[in-house]
Structure 1
Amino acid sequence: MSTSTSGPKSDANFRLPTNVKATHYDLTFKTDLEDLTFKGYGVIHLDIVEETKEIIFNASSDLSIGDVSIHSEALKTEQVQSASEVKIQKDEERVTVLFTHALPKGSKAKLHLGWDAKLTGSMTGYYYSSTEHEGKKRYYTLTQFEPTAARRAFPSWDEPLLKATYDVTMISRADTVNLSNMPVTSEKPFVDAASSSESDGKNLGKLAKMFSLKSEGTTGDAAGKGWKITRFERTPLMSTYLLCFANGHFEYLESSYTSPISGRKIPLRIYTTPDIIHQAQFSLDVKSKVMPIYEQVFQIEYPLPKLDTLVAHDFDAGAMENWGLITGRTSAFLLDPKKSDLAAKKRVATVTSHECAHLWFGDLVTMAWWDNLWLNEGFATLMGEVIIIDKVFPEWKVDSEFIDVHLARALDLDAVRSSHPIEVPVPDANQINQIFDALSYSKAGSVLRMLSNYVGEETFLRGVSIYLSKHLYGNSVTKDLWKGIGEASGLDIPKMLDNWILKIGYPVVTVKENNDSVTVRQDRFLSTGDPTDKENETLWQIPLNVKTADASGKVSTDRSIVLSEREATIPLDTSKPFKLNAQTTGVYRVAYTPERLKKIGEEAAKENSVFSLEDRMGLVSDALILAKAGISQTSAALDLIKSLKSEKEYLVWSAIDSQLGKLTKILWEQPEEVRDDFNAFRRSLMRPLVDKLGYEYSPDDSADTIQLRTLAIAAAAGAKDPDVIAQLASRFKHFQETGDDSKIPADLLRTTFINAVRNGGRAEYETIKKVYKNPPTPSAKISAMLAMTASKDKEIIEETLKFVLTDVQIQDTMYFFSGAAANRESRRRIGEFFKENYDTITKMFEGNFSLSYLVKFSFQELTTEKDADAVEAWFKDKDVSKFNLALAQSLDTIRANAKWLQRSKDDVADWLKKSKL
């Protein structure tokens, strides 16, 4: 398969030379929201490291660069030189500027240059978003520079290691708001230079000429809106990808927190367009709660004078941690407390906390290069979504939920051959976007969680604080973190952790029982179950965390045993209950004999089991995924799940539902009788929960009760329970006829919408379409998108796919693809749709994170070798360099699905028949 049209490229093709160093940027941007253009002018301060006649920096071909000159007092000839030649390397996004006279080594210089460009809706670089205002579209702008898009907004040394300070000035329409990383130092309407002070007048006159400004004040231009100039404080040292600025008609809510370290009061704001500001309070409240906790935990004060958040209608990623000005999409930061479900509340809280974690991990201390992205994202995942948010919302049991949300996600992706190490070389800029995946986030977070559990959370956090303190305002690599935690713990952290970070994959630990011991063996786990000898060379340091119970039922866990060899024998009384990977904190799977798995299942099903909630979650996940790999039988996993039918904990049911969902997808093209039998089994599990919990939600309900009720109803409806479907349909009908949604609890909105379209027709579809076009909340909009793709009607499916390319915001496209892939009636069609519109889609999402997800949604749910061969053949002559990882992982997933199906279809069919007896 071709992965590049021009062959592999070395680091030199993408890393800038080190003959000069940018130390400070003085940047001015003029934004015109009416013409959708921007102009820029920059003075970039340089240290000349080696004598040179050329300056090389990053700049996208979208920028039209002109008026390039350099000033250096060290020159004996002309102190100001205009460029003698400007060379543009489009593919490498680099510009080489040549000068006649060499700049001396050790000198300083100032590079002056101007540029202009069109604003686009690309969701990358400096781009526009929009909202409706008085029946018309009103535009605003913001930036998204991570990982390599600062160069789309200004010429720069656009690498994380090349930190500098920034002075930002923004010129904009007088009735708009300007935002940047730092607070505003001055803001004034543009006036005639002659009426200002001499120094300020000269500056304004220069700006007026440079940016073609009129001088009539705030009302004198043709549009009836004059210009204003906003200046911001200088930033601390930081990487280009963290610079941020925005311009538009924004409103804000305001709060603050008091630093527990200095007593300083730090203002907090959240900005949105006026139409959605009423949904921003909850995120602002979360931010005010987590920020002082972060300071206490790290013993490092947040160093900037303010912290804003800007919510955008169009945003590619979920959110972005720009220092002092966090940005993100509406679903990441907005909710209406009266109309939003608990899932939406949890998302807003965890995203807010995740981004705040980055203010230390990523912003204050930044990875040296993108191969260490995990230092940012793994930490923000663990700190933001578990350790810190648990202190604010302990009732959510986020540490336990991590197993089903992040650990399972990481283990799924890392079980395919085309996975990659957590720390992975990314010399090619095309690869950088692709590693913002479950390995950099979820696996990295899982490995850190495993380490924290092993050394103890207090010791772990002390080590993290040491690490941060030693690299303030600087850059770091993996070994720097290990030194900090090693200093706190006294342990050889690299010895234990290096293979988890630097090697691909993870182990499965196989347990064989002896009379008074167990023999454990580690091998690389692959979802296809067939690692080669070369693939199986890695030996991990595995904390086995052996949980045992004595005759009285007293439970203890031995955390001292680490499996570092291929095999080891451990003394153990196998006549008593035992389990490895206690609390499911380890990043590995455990394979027991069928007899032991049955015993563990029986113990797990007891009212007061020695196996905890987290243990039971891990058992369910391991059982089915090991069956997928052929290590055990799928029927044995189904036996385990069936034995847990009296389970009371939501999170265990969530793990069960996740795993049964995977099996549902494998069986999607099997005979109808098999699918009906499987749905009957699912109903037998879920319907009793529905009958017990009902459909009504109370303010007194615990988080567990709310989530379990929602899960049970959705799962029962998905398994075609006629009574549940009828109940949901009745509630939807009332909404359809009256517009009153009061009979649909917020937590049931998504499943109600999906089932209305799935089991209804044109009328239901059109009702949902109206919700999509005018959603009351971000979560309602997502629910509507997923529902629009749930139809069984071929005509509606085609109409929806056409709608995706004509009427859908770019950021929303992935929801339609995800929904279509989840619908067995459109699962094959979405792949064909991707291929039919390949040029349009790849161009539309060029440079975005979403492209890899669209590839996966389009193909990875297929289940035959023939499918994998056909997909591989179709892409053979395509340039897949921007999504080659996603494509390879999709092909591996299809082939793993195919092997699972071939191994298990008869086993499952037989088990289902017997279970009915």
Structure 2
Amino acid sequence: MIQVSSCIQRAPVTAPRLERNVARQSQLAGWSGRKGNGCGKITHKALRRPRARSSISVEVRAESNAASSGRTPLINLEGGRQVTFVKCECNKCRGLIMCGDRELLPTSVRPEHYELQLSPDLQAFTYSGKLLVQLVVQECTNSITFHAKDLVIQSGVVRDAAGRERTNPGGPDVLYGTAEQETATVALSQPFTSKDVGTTVTLELQFTGELNDKLAGFYRSAYPAPDGTGETRHMAVTQFEPTDARRCFPCWDEPAAKATFDVALVVPSDRVALSNMPEKEVQHNGDMKTVLFETTPIMSTYLLAFVVGEFEAIEDQTAEGVTVRCWTPIGQSEQGRFALDTACKCLSFFGEYFDAPYPLPKMDMIAIPDFSAGAMENWGLVTYRSSLMLFEEGKTPVNAKQRIGYVVGHELAHQWFGNLVTMDWWSQLWLNEGFATWVGWRAMDHIFPEWGVWTQFTSNEQAMGLGLDSLCSSHPVEVDIASAGQVSEIFDAISYSKGSCVIRMLEAYLGEDAFRRGMRAYVAKHAYGNAGTQDLWAALSAASGADVAALMSCWTRQTGFPVVTASADAAAGTVTISQQRFLASGPDTEEKDQWVVPLRVQGLPAALEAESATFPLPADGEVLKLNRGQSGFYRTVYDDEALAALVQALPTLSEVDRVGVISDAFATAAAGYTSTTNALELLQAYADESSYVAWSEISSGLGGLASVCYEQPESVVEGLRTLGSQLYTPLVGRMGWEPCAEDTYSDTLLRQLAVAQALSTRDPDAVAEAQKRFAALVAGDDMAIPADLKGAVFAAVLRAGGEEEFEQLKVLYGKADSAVEESLLLGAMGAGATVELVLAALEFNMSDEVRMQDGAAIIGSCARNRIGRRATWEWTQANWDRLEERFGGGGVSSILTRLVGASCSNLASEDDAAAVEAFYGAKSTPGIERTVTQSVEAIRAKSERLKRDADELAVWLAQRE
């Protein structure tokens, strides 16, 4: 899954929020078991389900002294009937339903096969469901417990292998767990004993649910009617990762609980219905039809998917004969052509890379208007946010095209690494996401070699991973997860970016051939099953002969990364290399963690394994550049002698190494390991640089410095702006505004960057050109602004203008015919030069005109604006209840969590850090804790930087005048 800020338009809730009512009106606590004949009995406190919301009501009587008195605790069912409730024999069970240190479901039964039928109502936003699950009995039990959230279960019947009902005839004996447990339990009138162990039994359930507006589970997405009437219609779509299949249907919603699925959808005859597998049969009944799909391979619940709506498709086949279809809104099918072509090539590439053909008969990809994440790797039916699948030549920026290609590669890599072989538990999320991130870039390098993606990898994945992992509040790549509710916290740059970087580092260390042999062996051994990190290390060790676990445990089980310092002594002919943990807040002598650090310097050992070591300097002619190729996940610092030699040798270094030098210089300066003014002095060595990625790192370093200094004296702010203008104005003169036939891919990106940075520094000539082109666009010239420059022009015109320009942006937004164009306009709306314009943008964000999935775009734009930063934070505090109501309640990609970070993380004083801590500390909003902690730490790191650098920077800038 790709993470992107998102959410959808709200609509009235029509189905009951049963779970919340149970959470408010019931308690489930005080359960304890005793063993007897392999099973344990339970005593418990009262649980009462609200009767108004469903046809069943269950009351569990308090029997605190039941065990000692010999009495059997009873469940009183509606109508006066009573049943005994007995816990499964597993001695790890906690309370009614949760088992073990990971809060897993009891192991008394295991699902083998689901038969699921759903009938969605696209007008009332509800659906009804029928489910039959085949279960293998593994332990004695008096109950069957499964996951269920926001569902109302009307009936539950269990039949044994002989077809005999083991529940009370005529009574749905269902207990609901607490809101945190997200479970339901069917009580058995006749328990399963040792005679039943190993047999296959069935559970039949009928239930109803809501097509919700939370972008999680089975939800609704709005789109304009394709007939041009202006009517708003709705489709139904799923998003189950990580733990939202339970929002759609009762299931064993854990990655290791794999089963096969038969899906049937009852939908209007004029709607398209899709699922993981091809259609098996379509049964028509008037204006409705039932679409039955082929049986899936064995897989985890989070990979199941279905979509119902109005679409059209284009299709092609891979070289191996797999049918690939790209589904789009009606009238936009050709916008899916690039994604379709890329997908066909990716499936062939991955089939060869893993030495395993794509295992399903088809691959569908579909653009969804309202989508929480960026894309989701459902097996055989990949869902995408529209802006990450649809591409239109001449209208979509070139960097957006690359992003689409990469996202397709990432999601299709999951078809093997994640879907075919699945992690044991969410603690190994990085295996899914880190590997898919890395191999997605590898696929792009194979298909589009002209993109030069590995250099971009350095300024994308590596920079994001290093940035988050520099915080004390980071977490290990492989992190202990006790409950499903914690999973959403690790869908971040550690699991994705750092995970991909340590894999790239390992491949560089082992060699590409040995690494690929290990990957093929891993996939072959664990296909259709589950595996963990140690399984991967074992396969790679066998293929390479190296002790991979010993090498990598410090990188996956330990938080953070090192900064490696090189001190050269030319007279002695030696270099001393040392390591310590890199922290954004600055050096900490108390930190004693160490890593096995690949040095990647010709003439030095392969790795540094101690805190410090001294080696002979490399032979004459070999410049001391640590981390050649930038495959290592660490920062570097050089003493003055080594740095001077390195700067002298810059023209002889590869592009990626030149990028690494400037990137490390700004990063180590920001954290206090080196001087900020030294990093600024280094810029003169890059005056003639032609690399887009190098200039991107320069922009990032200067932008970070300017952001920290946003409330410094005007002389500092203007001094940094002048420095930027002096760098970028000549670059714009060199690149121009219009694309040229001779442009390379890198040239196109560099032009985009140069113009955007010249406009952000308010270069008068650049701003005048932007205003002229914008006026032509508003007057009707759709080609006045090159697609690659639109976002920067929109922001610059608003920054230099006022209310009139803001209203013009809103008009353009209303007319936008693509999700990419909408994103560019929203991202510019926070650039106003007055607090009033910033507040107007924030209020516009709360309107129904902006899809909720895009809620973070304007707030992020406002918070990056020097004028709007503090106003955005104050507005967020004053409007928290509105924000929580509009954006809260989603799944792993909750917009509210992103808004928390966007609203405050750019602040830069200790007072701000304390205020953020106090404000959010008083909130009980679930899922924001880690984001708040990391935002506060980032603010404090900026505050410390100002204490170190503010005076020296002011003097340095004054001397340049």
Q: Normalising by the residue count of structure 2, what TM-score does the alignment of the two structures yield?
A: 0.87
What are the equivalent positions in structure 2 for 1:573-584 lying under 5 Å apart?
573=618, 577-584=623-630
Equivalent in the alignment of 1:19 = 108
- The question of 1:108 aligning with 2:200 is answered yes
Q: Cα distance 1:429–1:832, how it changes in 2: closer, same or farther (>3 A)?
A: farther
Equivalent in the alignment of 1:882 = 927
What are the equivalent positions in structure 2 for 1:97-136 lying under 5 Å apart?
97-103=186-192, 104-133=196-225, 134-136=229-231
- The question of 1:676 aligning with 2:765 is answered no
Kept after mapping to 2: 8 A contact 1:42/1:112? yes
Equivalent in the alignment of 2:280 = 185
Equivalent in the alignment of 1:520 = 577
1-side partners of 2:695 and 2:263: how far apart?
Answer: 51
Structure 1 residue 836: deviation in Å? 2.6
Structure 2 residue aligned with 1:903, among 938, 941, 948? 948
Q: Cα distance 1:594–1:842, how it changes in 2: closer, same or farther (>3 A)?
A: farther
What are the equivalent positions in structure 2 for 1:799-814 lying under 5 Å apart?
799-807=840-848, 808-814=850-856
Percent identity among equivalent residues? 38
Query: Which secondary structure does the structure 2 equivalent of 1:98 belong to?
Result: strand
Structure 1 residues 430-439 or 307-316, which shifts more? 430-439
Q: Cα distance 1:13–1:87, how it changes in 2: closer, same or farther (>3 A)?
A: farther
- The question of 1:143 aligning with 2:238 is answered yes
In the alignment, residue 752 of structure 1 is paired with which amino acid? V
Structure 1 residue 859: deviation in Å? 1.0
> What's the CA shift string for 1:397-417, capped at 9, x where partnerless?
101100000101110100010
Q: Cα distance 1:421–1:79, how it changes in 2: closer, same or farther (>3 A)?
A: closer
In the alignment, residue 445 of structure 1 is paired with which amino acid? S
What are the equivalent positions in structure 2 for 1:787-826 lying under 5 Å apart?
787-807=828-848, 808-826=850-868
Kept after mapping to 1: 8 A contact 2:157/2:165? no
In the alignment, residue 612 of structure 1 is paired with which amino acid? S
In the alignment, residue 178 of structure 1 is paired with which amino acid? A
Query: Which secondary structure does the structure 1 equivalent of 2:757 belong to?
Result: helix
> What's the CA shift string for 1:690-734, capped at 9, x where partnerless?
111111112431111111111111111111111111111111011
In the alignment, residue 212 of structure 2 is paired with which amino acid? T
2-side partners of 1:478 and 1:420: how far apart?
Answer: 16
2-side partners of 1:227 and 1:12: how far apart?
Answer: 47
Kept after mapping to 2: 8 A contact 1:83/1:97? no
- The question of 1:72 aligning with 2:160 is answered yes
Equivalent in the alignment of 1:552 = none
In the alignment, residue 104 of structure 2 is paired with which amino acid? R
- The question of 1:253 aligning with 2:329 is answered no
Q: Cα distance 1:21–1:595, how it changes in 2: closer, same or farther (>3 A)?
A: same
Equivalent in the alignment of 1:241 = 302
Equivalent in the alignment of 2:806 = 765
Note the residue ranges of structure 1 that are not aligned, 5 or more in a row: 191-216, 218-225, 260-264, 547-556
Query: Which secondary structure does the structure 2 equivalent of 1:565 belong to?
Result: coil
Equivalent in the alignment of 2:732 = 690
Considering only aligned residues, what root-mean-square deviation do their CA atoms show, in Å?
Answer: 1.9
Structure 1 residue 132: deviation in Å? 0.9
Q: Cα distance 1:290–1:13, how it changes in 2: closer, same or farther (>3 A)?
A: closer
Structure 1 residue aligned with 2:146, among 40, 57, 62? 57
Structure 1 residue 575: deviation in Å? 7.2
Kept after mapping to 1: 8 A contact 2:604/2:618? no
Equivalent in the alignment of 2:368 = 312
In the alignment, residue 123 of structure 2 is paired with which amino acid? E
Kept after mapping to 2: 8 A contact 1:125/1:152? yes
Equivalent in the alignment of 1:601 = 647
Equivalent in the alignment of 1:289 = 345
In the alignment, residue 263 of structure 2 is paired with which amino acid? V
- The question of 1:505 aligning with 2:560 is answered yes
2-side partners of 1:623 and 1:503: how far apart?
Answer: 25
The number of residues matched between the two structures is 854
2-side partners of 1:826 and 1:10: how far apart?
Answer: 49
Q: Cα distance 1:651–1:74, how it changes in 2: closer, same or farther (>3 A)?
A: same
1-side partners of 2:829 and 2:631: how far apart?
Answer: 38
Q: Cα distance 1:125–1:459, how it changes in 2: closer, same or farther (>3 A)?
A: same
Equivalent in the alignment of 1:223 = none
> What's the CA shift string for 1:735-784, capped at 9, x where partnerless?
12x22121211111111111111111222212211222231322211110
Structure 1 residue aligned with 2:877, among 835, 842, 856? 835
Structure 1 residues 5-14 or 583-592, which shifts more? 5-14
Structure 1 residue 12: deviation in Å? 5.2
Query: Which secondary structure does the structure 2 equivalent of 1:167 belong to?
Result: strand
Q: Cα distance 1:639–1:28, how it changes in 2: closer, same or farther (>3 A)?
A: same
- The question of 1:170 aligning with 2:265 is answered yes
In the alignment, residue 129 of structure 2 is paired with which amino acid? G
Query: Which secondary structure does the structure 1 equivalent of 2:322 belong to?
Result: strand
2-side partners of 1:396 and 1:273: how far apart?
Answer: 29
In the alignment, residue 182 of structure 1 is paired with which amino acid? M
2-side partners of 1:796 and 1:278: how far apart?
Answer: 38
- The question of 1:29 aligning with 2:118 is answered yes
Equivalent in the alignment of 1:587 = 633
Equivalent in the alignment of 2:782 = 741
Kept after mapping to 2: 8 A contact 1:10/1:427? no
Query: Which secondary structure does the structure 2 equivalent of 1:655 belong to?
Result: helix
Q: Cα distance 1:78–1:670, how it changes in 2: closer, same or farther (>3 A)?
A: closer
Kept after mapping to 1: 8 A contact 2:795/2:829? yes
Structure 1 residues 570-579 or 357-366, which shifts more? 570-579
Structure 1 residue 878: deviation in Å? 1.7
> What's the CA shift string for 1:411-440, capped at 9, x where partnerless?
010001000000111213332112111000
Equivalent in the alignment of 1:231 = 292
Kept after mapping to 2: 8 A contact 1:22/1:157? yes
Equivalent in the alignment of 2:596 = 541
Equivalent in the alignment of 1:564 = 609
Structure 2 residue aligned with 1:641, among 660, 683, 687? 683
Kept after mapping to 2: 8 A contact 1:182/1:324? yes
- The question of 1:786 aligning with 2:827 is answered yes
Structure 1 residue 78: deviation in Å? 5.8
Query: Which secondary structure does the structure 2 equivalent of 1:580 belong to?
Result: coil
2-side partners of 1:404 and 1:312: how far apart?
Answer: 29
Kept after mapping to 2: 8 A contact 1:39/1:116? yes
2-side partners of 1:404 and 1:325: how far apart?
Answer: 31
- The question of 1:461 aligning with 2:516 is answered yes
Structure 1 residue 542: deviation in Å? 0.6
Equivalent in the alignment of 1:220 = none
Structure 1 residues 144-153 or 695-704, which shifts more? 695-704
Equivalent in the alignment of 1:46 = 135
- The question of 1:87 aligning with 2:144 is answered no
Equivalent in the alignment of 2:326 = 270
What are the equivalent positions in structure 2 for 1:310-389 lying under 5 Å apart?
310-384=366-440, 386-389=441-444
Structure 1 residues 240-249 or 763-772, which shifts more? 763-772
2-side partners of 1:724 and 1:478: how far apart?
Answer: 51
Structure 1 residue aligned with 2:455, among 400, 406, 416? 400
2-side partners of 1:424 and 1:79: how far apart?
Answer: 40
Kept after mapping to 1: 8 A contact 2:476/2:556? yes
Equivalent in the alignment of 1:221 = none
Structure 1 residues 324-333 or 807-816, which shifts more? 807-816
Structure 1 residue 448: deviation in Å? 0.5
Kept after mapping to 2: 8 A contact 1:255/1:288? yes
Q: Cα distance 1:803–1:25, how it changes in 2: closer, same or farther (>3 A)?
A: same
Structure 1 residues 132-141 or 523-532, which shifts more? 523-532
Structure 1 residue 81: deviation in Å? 5.2
In the alignment, residue 751 of structure 1 is paired with which amino acid? A
Kept after mapping to 2: 8 A contact 1:319/1:355? yes
